[in-house]
Amino acid sequence: MFMIDRIDPRTEALEVWRATEQLVSIRWDAFLKAEPESRRFAFASYVAALDAEEAAATELASLVLRVAA
């Protein structure tokens, strides 16, 4: 029988938040470099990344606060 290593949910949530934070930066740079005809799409893509980062930050905060309580 083998054991599966459990990843700490807080560590996983932190990794997800860092990835989404990086995506926000990438999408912002893409927006700044976008041609006029694609700026609307690039901005919408940036806003979607911000929403994902917010959700990841909320999840991380809930796990950290749960441990602190």
- Classify residue 37 by its DSSP letter: G
Tokens for 53, please give them.
């980062």
Q: What is the domain partition of the chain in residue ranges?
A: 9-68
Q: Is the model more confident about 55 or about 4?
A: 55
> Can you tell me the distance from the alpha carbon of 38 to that of 54, in angstroms, rounded to the nearest whole number?
25
For the residues 39-51, what does the mean pLDDT come to?
98
Task: Tell me the pLDDT band of 3, cut-offs 50, 70 and 90.
Answer: low
Q: pLDDT tens, 32-43? A: 999 999 999 999
pLDDT tens digits for range 8-28: 889 999 999 999 999 999 999
pTM: 0.82
The residue whose two tokens read 């997800």 is 16
